[in-house]
Amino acid sequence: MSRVLITGGAGFVGRPLVQILCDNGFEVTATGRQPSVTGLPAGINYYQVTSLGPDTDWQNVLTGIDCVIHLAARVHVMTETETDAKTAFHKTNVDGTKKLALDAAKTGVKRLIFLSSVKVNGEHTDAKPFTEDDKAHPQDDYALSKYNAEQALLEIAHDTGLEVVIIRPPLVYGANVKGNFKSLISLTKRSWPLPLAGLKNARSLVFVGNLCDAIKACIKHPAAANQTFLVSDDHDLSTTELIEHLAHALSCPSHLFKLPVLFLYIVASLFGQKSRAQRILGSLQINSGKIHKLLGWTPPYNVVQGMQLSVTADLNAEQQIPKKTDTGKP
C-alpha cells in the first residue's frame, strides 16, 4: 500500500503525518475544511471537505487509494457551544466515520486506520494501566462517539472485508499543541509559581512524532489488520515531572510549591474546574505492549526529545509574531 488518504491532513497530527509519509515514499492525498492550506509538502493532492457526516461524498477522493487514515473529527473542547453536543458528536464522529468507511469499502480501499482516544477506556486509572482488553468506559459525549465509531467500523470490517486499525492515544503533545499542555508551557515559560510540587500521579503521553510513526507502522503491517492499539511514549510522568521536563527544555526554572492535593481538588471544584483538575492531578496510564509485540514498533523519540521539539516550535512561533510598535499616539 503506497497511496494514502489522510483526513484532517492540515491538523495538529495531520501535518507532521503528511510530511513523514511523503518523506517515506508514500503518495499522499489530504483533506481539510479550508479551500487551500499552506505548509504542506509540494506535490500532494489536497481536497476541501467542509463537513463530516452521513451525506459526505468521498468516492472521488478515494479513487486509487490503498489506505485511509481518518484523523478528522469533532474534537473534545473545554467550553461546549452546541446546545445538543451529543447529537453533534454523533453526526460527525459516528455517522461521518461510517460513511467514509462504507465509501472506502465500495471503492476498493484495503485498510482504514481510525484515530480514536484513550478516553474510550475511561478518564483515569488507579491500580493498573489501561489495556486494549479492558472494558470500554467512555464518560462524556466525545468519548462515547469515538467508541460508537469504533464499533461501527468493526461491523463494517466484518461485513465488507475492509481492514480496520484503531489507535487510542493518550494526550498528544508536539509543535503547535493546544489545550492544557499549551497552558503548562506558557505558565512554565513565564516562571509562574505553581502549586504542583511533589505530585505522585502518573500519566501516559505520546509525542506527535511517535504517534505518526506508529500510524505509519500500521499502514502496511499485516498483523495490524482489525486490531486496536494503545500508543504512548512508554515513559509515564507525574505532573511535577512533566513541568520539570518543560522547564529544562525551556532553559528556565520551575517554580513549584506544594499544596495538599485534596485542597487543590476542592478549589477547582468551587470554580467549576473539577474535570480539568482531574486531568492535571489524577493518573491515566496505558500499557502499549501490544503494538510492540505484534508490530515490533518502538517509539523513535524519547520524552526529552519530544519535549524539546515541542517547546522549540512554540518559541519559534512566538518569535514570529509581530511586536506592537510605539507610534507615539495615545
Catalytic residues: 142
- How many helices and strands in the chain, by DSSP H and E? 12, 9
Whether 264 and 256 have beta carbons less than 8 Å apart is answered as no
**Inter-CA distances, 238 with 14, 41, 211, 245, Å:** 28, 37, 20, 11
Cα angle value 149/64/9 (rounded, 5°): 55
State the Rg of the chain over Cα.
21
Place of cell 492499539: 229
Angle between the 96-107 and 141-160 helix axes, to the nearest 10 degrees? Answer: 20
Per-residue DSSP letters for 247-261? HHHHTS---B-B--H
- Other CB atoms within 10 Å distance of the CB of residue 293: 10
DSSP state of 300: S
